[in-house]
Amino acid sequence: MKKKNNQFSPPCDDCGGRCCQYTAIEIDRPTSKTDYDNIRWYLCHKNVHVFIDHDRKWHVEFRSPCDNLGPDYRCAIYDMRPHICRNHGNLEEECEYFDSPYLHYFHTRVEFEDYLKKRGIDWRFKKKKPR
């Protein structure tokens, strides 16, 4: 950890741009069968994952590196980077180099279904009886 004027400075030289390898959007915590089914659908797509962070907030994650990440894993537009980039990981406890942002991480639909099963959550819709 580097310190400048007693402030945290992320170790970007050593990191490999972990925070620049994906985009994550916060979603509502699932509470219904439709919500669980939507998450199952997200996880059926290539390079799409779902995670719960340490604050128990839910996110859908798109594994797609930033177009401005250079071959050295440094930001090629650092002085003009978006504000969200400027504010991300500016505290040691938020920097992904030191700790994973994930409490639970789901790569696949099956992993998510196993998670629900272990928690006793009934996520399946009942099959309609034929007429």
Q: Which of 80-84, 97-101, 106-110 has the lowest mean pLDDT?
A: 97-101
Share of the chain above pLDDT 70, in %: 89
Residues with Cβ within 8 Å of residue 107, at least 6 apart in sequence: 43, 49
Task: Inform me whether the pLDDT recorded for 2 exceeds 60.
Answer: no
Please give the residue that has the higher pLDDT: either 11 or 112.
Answer: 112
CA distance 81 to 24: 17
Mean pLDDT of the chain: 89
**Token couple for 51:** 């995670």
Q: What kind and span of H or E run contains 118?
A: helix 109-118
